[in-house]
Amino acid sequence: MPAEPPRTEERAGRLAALLDERAGRDPGFAAAPELWRRRADAEVVSPSGDVHNEISGGTRTTVIQGRGIHGDITIGGRPS
């Protein structure tokens, strides 16, 4: 019988403890989450409501970006 996977809260707690420990030893690592948060805030929040999306590092599958879509979207279907 396979072991039951740990609960999400338990896993999150263990991860938080490991990240906190690493941040205590490495100031650069400790600063990274704040930098990521600031960059994310700058990317998704603007007074005009504009959004900037960027794909980097390549992809092996289709990437679709959209905003304010209303109605059906079909991907990979035959054209009518």
* pLDDT tens digits for range 4-38: 666 788 888 898 899 889 989 999 988 988 888 88
At 30, the amino acid letter reads: A
Q: How many domains does the chain have?
A: 1
d(CA 11, CA 8): 5
* pLDDT tens digits for range 62-71: 788 877 788 8
Q: What is the pLDDT of residue 21?
A: 92
Instruction: Indicate whether 49 belongs to any domain.
Output: no
Instruction: Indicate whether 23 belongs to any domain.
Output: yes
Instruction: Indicate whether 65 belongs to any domain.
Output: no
Ramachandran angles phi, psi of 60, nearest 5°: -110, 15
Instruction: Indicate whether 77 belongs to any domain.
Output: no
> In terms of residue numbers, what domain contains 21?
8-44
